[in-house]
Chain A
Amino acid sequence: MDTGERASRTDAVRGAAWAAPAVLVTAAFFLLPLAVMALWSLWTRTAGGVDRTLTLANYARFFGESALVAALFNSLETAALVTVVSLVVGYPVAYALAFHVPARWQRLALVLAILPFWTSYVVRSYAWLLVLAPNGVVNQTLIGLGLTEGPVRIAYTMTATVLGFTHFFAMLVALTVYAGLKRINPRLLLAARDLGAGAVSTFLRVTLPLSVPAIATSAFLTFVLAIGDYITPQILGGNTSLVLPQAILFQIGRRGDVPMASAMSLVLMAVILVACLVALRATRTEPAR
């Protein structure tokens, strides 16, 4: 008994030792900064300094200032819209890749889909401005097809932000869902067909339910990454309706109000955690396979 206990203790110590560096890094550079930030969020910015009296004033200010609450809602709206649009665009692409492209071409097709994202993110976002300009490709095509008489304003609007985000996240969704679809046992699909299900019915009753985990994963990733991003809304959004990261950088960058920025970051974190829990529930309630 004694030796067995000692062996299991040695085992635990060894395992802990292997995990220790990663745990230390996470503690020192992730958990500690969060704690420091939480502390700062309870302080307040004064003219030329910081008042270290603990108070919830920053949070009260956040929920009391309509411009900031609006930023929260803009963020939620944008991220939700981006998630839905990316799924709508990305899912059919994943489906086509998985089931309608010959197997030996699939990898090349995937690589081709990822390649454009190895240009610089910042430059790519500016390139979207040129694509959407009045004399850019999109407007010229629309006018050429006779769909509109004059150029349509797309650049510097929320539509442009959503479009810019969808560009990246549709690819992400396509990749994730593709991986999910490839994991479905083809015999299940054959069985459904043998039992007389049509293509649509097979899709709705077999393929779609089986790809729910992949959908949830990609939706979660899209939502979290989109709601925390600064570049796309800053470059494409025209600065006319700010999202939360823009409002946060406004506090740090222009006002030097780190306490307020900390409080707002924690609000952002809370929002993402809720999204995380929702996504977890969505994946749990469905059968894993």
Chain B
Amino acid sequence: MLPRTTFLTGAALALAAFTHGASAEEINALVWCDHTDPAFLEPFTQATGITVNVKEYEGTGTALSLVEQSQPGDWDVFVVDSTDVKRVAARGLLAELKPEDFPLADIPPAVQAPELHQVDGVWRAVPEKFGYNAVAYDKDQVDEAAMRKAHNLFDPAYQGKIAVYDYYLPQITQIAILLGKDPKTVTEADLPAIREKLFALKANAALVSDVVTSQTALATGEVGILVGGGEYAVSGLHAEKPNLDWVLPDEGGVRWQQAIGVFETSARKDAAVKFVQYVLSPEGQARLATSSCYWGMPANAAATLDDTQKQVLRWDEQPAFIANSHLYIAPSDELDQAMQSVWQEFLQH
């Protein structure tokens, strides 16, 4: 017979586990996965005693659904694509930030982009990291020169060698650029042409995948090209897979940029601001730029990166790259839904 004490112990343990977690100071952050690296978070916790609970997502739509499935006050910090800051702020989700709290002067003007991060002259989020959704490739499998021309991606010679990064915003932006459109002016009327071009890309693609599946596919040699890839997909692997590299297409490429803000409903705004300050500090920036999930360019030019890290990130070429790249399409809610539908069709095509 099962002793009664087993039942009682079990019940007590269960209660203990369900009620624990009310320790000193904690903040909850909704982030891209680069912010989940313990090497990035732990120095902050050690310095301030504030624990950061992170929940990672890919894509603003995912983040917004998570927010909708939560109670007000659940979240304190939000890492979000710069191009979506206004859309998110329009929902009243982001608190006002005081510019004097952050080292904005160390952030290059093109990255600072107040037109993206301010609403009516008020900062709602500050830029923290950027990079490129360009073309990552395996030097052993494909020719570097060919990868500089994005039109080559549609060449049947590469059929089955291509993985497509599963994020509709940069991909649709890249296609718009290839079709000669300015991403800022894309409307629903442009989607049929974009859809056709996407389907042509799908004909060449072996898989559509998230960051890690893409990395796996490149690392195992399953594919030779990652469309929408960039330093974020391969720079972190440079020591072990020196054959992986990336380029920005000559036709113009896509730049991703993340910003960080504080939730309007947060009850722990002071702690949240402290965390944002840490993220933007030179040390925080260096750790974030070389986080285990993916690397990227620090927004703060004073980030303490060493020479190898700068070389892998192509630090010196940044001015040229920034000039030849566009930020993501910043869609209205309606355009966003329409683009998601196109993307769903693309996956299923």
Contact = CB atoms under 8 A, between A and B. Distances in A.
A126 B311 CA distance: 32
A43 to B, nearest CB: 14
A255 interface: yes
B283 to A, nearest CB: 33
Contact of A252 (B59, B65, B345): B65
A129 to B, nearest CB: 6
Interface in B196-225: 202, 205-209, 213, 216-217, 220-222
A110 B306 CA distance: 56
Given A48-B91, A239-B166, A255-B65, A156 B217 contact: yes
B347 A156 contact: no
A98 B192 CA distance: 60
A130 B347 CA distance: 23
A70 B166 CA distance: 19
B251 to A, nearest CB: 26
B334 interface: yes
A256 B348 contact: no
Contacts of B307: none
Contacts of B341: 65
Interface in A100-131: 126, 129-130
A65 B341 CA distance: 10
Contacts of A71: 348
A247 interface: yes
Nearest to B217: A156
Interface in B40-74: 59, 61-62, 64-65, 68
Contacts of B68: 256
Contacts of B202: 240
A235 interface: yes
A187 interface: no
A223 B284 CA distance: 50
Given A70-B348, A238-B209, A239-B208, A155 B65 contact: no
Interface in B218-244: 220-222
A135 interface: yes
Contacts of A9: none
Given A47-B333, A256-B68, A242 B348 contact: yes
Interface string A238-280: 1111100001001011111000000000000000000000000
A71 to B, nearest CB: 7
B340 to A, nearest CB: 5
A134 interface: yes
B206 A153 contact: yes
B152 interface: no
B187 interface: no
Interface residues of A, number: 31
Given A239-B209, A240-B205, A247 B61 contact: no
Nearest to A129: B216
Given A67-B348, A133-B220, A256 B64 contact: yes
B326 to A, nearest CB: 22
A45 to B, nearest CB: 8
A33 interface: no
B221 A67 contact: no
Given A239-B209, A255-B65, A256-B64, A47 B334 contact: yes
Nearest to B216: A129
B277 interface: no
A150 to B, nearest CB: 11
A238 B207 contact: yes
B207 A239 contact: yes
B318 interface: no
B215 to A, nearest CB: 11
B114 interface: no
Contacts of B337: 47, 255
Contacts of A65: 341
Contacts of B333: 47-48
A240 B61 contact: no
A67 B208 contact: no
A93 B91 CA distance: 58
**6 closest residue pairs by CB, A with B:** A47-B333, A256-B65, A238-B207, A67-B348, A133-B220, A156-B207
Interface of B: 59, 61-62, 64-65, 68, 91, 160, 166, 202, 205-209, 213, 216-217, 220-222, 332-334, 337, 340-341, 344-345, 347-348
24 contacts: A47-B332, A47-B337, A66-B348, A67-B344, A68-B344, A70-B348, A71-B348, A129-B216, A135-B221, A136-B220, A153-B206, A153-B222, A156-B222, A235-B213, A239-B347, A240-B202, A240-B205, A240-B208, A241-B348, A242-B348, A255-B65, A255-B340, A256-B65, A256-B68
